[in-house]
């Protein structure tokens, strides 16, 4: 196979391990040791060639990459000392916010010593990348380097280079960045690389095991200490926000029910210089067994931090090159979810691995069902905000676009939107959105949009398969709800409704919400807006079989025809079940007050997710 030409941003411990690793695995006798894939899509570890590198430390700038990887303050294990010269000298990088202020006062051998060489402009970096023929850029900048990371991402896009984002400044998981890579036809894998067998992957495995074995996880922590420049950098707690989000969400994604913030702590804890690149992790998980009997488990994990991630990065680089070979741009779903802590879409590790293997072989995982989005109504209570409810701009983005984006983040690949009121205007927007985002989207008109909403569901019947997701254009929700719903078992004649059991949810208008009465086995007894006895709210997110069409049609023939009417008929037959969303966000934006609440909540969640 041809070589893979790689550019490195940040020639630190992780870069040292990768460069050593490529040399180490040049010996075929080593191929059985420590790799998830020896041959990945026809590419071997030795096919990587390092053609460009950027750093800001005066002890590295100007050295051959093979020398620079062993320069201070690097302190990782040397497992391949005989690395042949690459013929490529480390170039001075852009400093920006890449060095925390407190590191200037640290011992010279432990911290960064900023070179006095002239810093490059964007044009300089782009020219270097182009001249080197780089195909994949790997980002190893320090945690918290928001400006510096965005600088190099802009350079990669302009130079036509794919990216593996190994650190937790969110790029692949931010829609605006992912769209740019998609439009440029360039692949990106991110964000925040997982270790081969590190703190996060072990924590996820144990948390998932609790869920699989029916043990209620009540609280957990992950405490990490180390002595490399990464841990020194993270002594500035102001640089830790995205790292904590990344590591915490990686664990929350696999627990059975999302933990309250006070019951989960995940993150770097302290800097211990003499540990060097050794990372010590302390895990504790507390739960309840059969009979609500308490239990706990504690784990102490000691790993050399940088080699522990190097093999994962080598696989990610090769997946990025495969995508380039295929002309595939944008975020790579399977590899991002398998290799990274904070991908745009989280899966269990088993599912992420399955999707990655399917990507490597050129196959595809099981096709996700289509999502039907009901956007036919007039939305008279929102007329003061917008003439068309689906096009009402919430924090600058039309609601229908927010729901469509959420569906995609939740694992949906193809959308069917049912239009009605001002259908031509809405359909024009949908066509533009589909082209702009490269989304598979069909729309179908329900001219009887003034009648019960179940008729809009029936309008989509010819366009979906045996299973489909049903969404409302005015219901905003956490995409992980949909992701988890898609992994639930569904009988051939069943419908699964995502419900909120928080009857005191401040975002719910209790007098207007559809109420649900659920039995102890999770089956719906009654559903409707006027129920006197109920224990859950309908969130408007469904995983349905085609039995819903028949049930709505039956209800329409009896003079009804609403979605709730069809669901009640299925409930009467024991074929309507619920999925509890836990404490996750959702809101029905049905009037001006709810619209205002949705804007406030969106701003709050966006602020919480940002570094």
* Whole-number Å distance between alpha carbons of 493 and 490: 8
Q: What is the pLDDT of residue 344?
A: 82
- Note whether residue 346 is domain-resident: no
- Note whether residue 357 is domain-resident: no
Question: Mapping DSSP to helix (H, G, I), strand (E, B) and coil, where does residue 511 land?
Answer: coil
CA angle 85, 89, 93 (to 5 degrees): 145
**Do residue 327 and residue 424 come from a single domain?**
no
Q: What does DSSP assign to residue 82?
A: -
Q: What is the pLDDT of residue 610?
A: 45
Instruction: Provide the sign of the torsion angle of the four alpha carbons 379, 382, 384, 388, taken in this order.
Output: negative
Count: domains in the chain: 3
In the block, residue with structure tokens 């008109």: 445
The tens digit of pLDDT for each residue in 542-568 reads 999 999 999 999 999 999 999 999 999
Q: What is the pLDDT of residue 604?
A: 63
**Do residue 300 and residue 312 come from a single domain?**
no
**Do residue 237 and residue 174 come from a single domain?**
no
Tokens matching residue 474: 């005015």
Tokens matching residue 488: 């639930």
Identify whether the C-beta of residue 543 lies closer than 8 Å to the C-beta of residue 467.
yes
Q: Where are the alpha helices (DSSP H) in 446-559?
A: 454-459, 479-486, 547-557
Q: Which ranges of the chain have pLDDT less than 70?
A: 1, 32, 256, 363-367, 602-611
**Do residue 484 and residue 410 come from a single domain?**
yes
214: left (phi over 0), alpha (psi -120 to 50) or beta: left
- Note whether residue 352 is domain-resident: no
* Whole-number Å distance between alpha carbons of 46 and 39: 10
**Do residue 453 and residue 567 come from a single domain?**
yes
Which residue range is the domain that position 286 belongs to?
A: 199-304
Residue count of the chain: 611
**Do residue 41 and residue 93 come from a single domain?**
yes
**Do residue 298 and residue 243 come from a single domain?**
yes
**Do residue 218 and residue 100 come from a single domain?**
no
Beta-carbon-side half-sphere exposure of residue 476 (alpha carbons within 13 Å): 27
* Whole-number Å distance between alpha carbons of 541 and 526: 17
Q: What is the pLDDT of residue 52?
A: 98
Tokens matching residue 344: 């745009």
**Do residue 163 and residue 32 come from a single domain?**
yes
In the block, residue with structure tokens 């983040």: 409
Q: What is the pLDDT of residue 611?
A: 40
- Note whether residue 355 is domain-resident: no
The tens digit of pLDDT for each residue in 110-147 reads 999 999 999 999 999 999 999 999 999 999 999 999 99
* Whole-number Å distance between alpha carbons of 131 and 143: 29
- Note whether residue 39 is domain-resident: yes
**Do residue 295 and residue 312 come from a single domain?**
no
Tokens matching residue 143: 């945690």
CB atoms within 10 A of CB 32: 8
The tens digit of pLDDT for each residue in 20-62 reads 999 999 887 777 688 999 999 999 999 999 999 999 999 999 9
- Note whether residue 535 is domain-resident: yes
Q: What is the pLDDT of residue 603?
A: 66
Q: What is the pLDDT of residue 371?
A: 97
Which residues are within 8 A (CB) of 567 and not within 5 positions of it... i.e. 6 or more apart? 495, 497, 524, 527, 548, 551, 576
Identify whether the C-beta of residue 281 lies closer than 8 Å to the C-beta of residue 199.
yes
**Do residue 9 and residue 57 come from a single domain?**
yes
pTM more than 0.85: no
**Do residue 296 and residue 316 come from a single domain?**
no
Closest CA to 445 of 415, 467, 422: 422
């Amino acid at each position: 196979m041809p070589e893979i030409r790689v550019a490195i941003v940040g020639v630190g411990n992780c870069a040292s391990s990768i460069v050593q690793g490529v040399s180490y695995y040049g010996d075929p006798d080593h191929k059985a040791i420590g790799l998830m894939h020896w041959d990945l899509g026809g590419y071997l570890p030795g096919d990587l060639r390092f053609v460009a590198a950027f750093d800001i430390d005066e002890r590295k700038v100007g050295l051959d990459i093979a020398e620079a990887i062993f320069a201070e303050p690097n302190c990782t294990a040397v497992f391949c000392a005989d690395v042949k010269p690459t013929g490529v000298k480390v170039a001075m990088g852009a400093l920006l916010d890449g060095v925390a202020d407190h590191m200037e006062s640290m011992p010279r051998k432990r911290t960064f010593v900023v070179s006095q060489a002239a810093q490059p402009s964007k044009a300089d970096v782009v020219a270097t990348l182009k001249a080197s023929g780089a195909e994949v850029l790997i980002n190893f900048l320090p945690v918290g380097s928001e400006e510096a990371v965005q600088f190099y991402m802009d350079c990669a896009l302009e130079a036509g280079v794919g990216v593996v984002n190994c650190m937790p400044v969110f790029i692949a998981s931010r829609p605006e960045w992912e769209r740019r890579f998609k439009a440029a036809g360039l692949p990106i894998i991110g964000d925040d690389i997982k270790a081969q067998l590190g703190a996060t992957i072990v924590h996820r495995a144990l948390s998932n095991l609790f869920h699989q074995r029916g043990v209620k996880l009540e609280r957990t922590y992950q405490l990490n200490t180390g002595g490399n420049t990464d841990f020194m950098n993270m002594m500035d707690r102001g640089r830790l926000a995205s790292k904590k989000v990344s590591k915490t969400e990686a664990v929350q994604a696999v627990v059975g029910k999302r933990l309250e913030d006070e019951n989960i702590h995940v993150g770097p804890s302290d800097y211990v210089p003499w540990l060097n690149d050794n990372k010590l992790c302390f895990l504790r998980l507390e739960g309840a067994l059969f009979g609500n009997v308490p239990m706990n488990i504690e784990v102490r994990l000691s790993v050399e931090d940088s080699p522990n991630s190097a093999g994962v990065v080598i696989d990610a680089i090769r997946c990025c090159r495969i995508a380039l070979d295929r002309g595939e741009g944008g975020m790579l779903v399977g590899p991002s979810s398998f290799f990274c802590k904070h991908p745009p879409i989280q899966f269990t590790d088993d599912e992420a691995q399955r999707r990655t293997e399917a990507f490597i072989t050129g196959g595809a995982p099981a096709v996700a069902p289509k999502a039907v989005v009901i956007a036919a109504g007039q939305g008279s209570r929102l007329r003061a905000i917008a003439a068309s409810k689906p096009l009402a701009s919430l924090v600058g983005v039309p609601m229908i676009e927010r729901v469509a984006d959420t569906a995609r983040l939740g694992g949906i690949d193809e959308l069917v939107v049912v239009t009605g009121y001002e259908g031509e205007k809405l359909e024009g927007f949908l066509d533009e959105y589909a082209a702009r985002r490269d989304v598979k989207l069909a729309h179908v008109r329900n001219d009887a949009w003034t009648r019960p909403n179940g008729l809009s569901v029936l309008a989509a019947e010819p366009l979906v398969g045996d299973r489909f997701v049903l969404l409302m254009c005015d219901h905003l929700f956490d995409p992980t709800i949909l992701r988890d719903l898609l992994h639930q078992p569904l009988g051939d004649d069943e419908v699964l409704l995502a419900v909120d059991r928080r009857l005191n949810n401040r975002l719910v208008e209790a007098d207007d919400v559809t109420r649900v009465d659920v039995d102890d086995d999770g089956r719906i007894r009654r559903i409707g807006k006027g129920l006197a006895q109920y224990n859950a709210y309908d969130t408007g997110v469904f995983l349905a079989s085609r039995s819903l069409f028949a049930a709505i049609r039956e209800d329409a023939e009896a003079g009804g025809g609403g979605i709730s009417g069809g669901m009640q008929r299925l409930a009467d037959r024991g074929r309507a079940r619920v999925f509890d969303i836990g404490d996750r966000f959702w809101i029905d934006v049905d009037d001006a007050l709810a619209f205002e609440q949705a804007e406030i909540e969106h701003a709050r969640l966006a602020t919480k997710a940002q570094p």
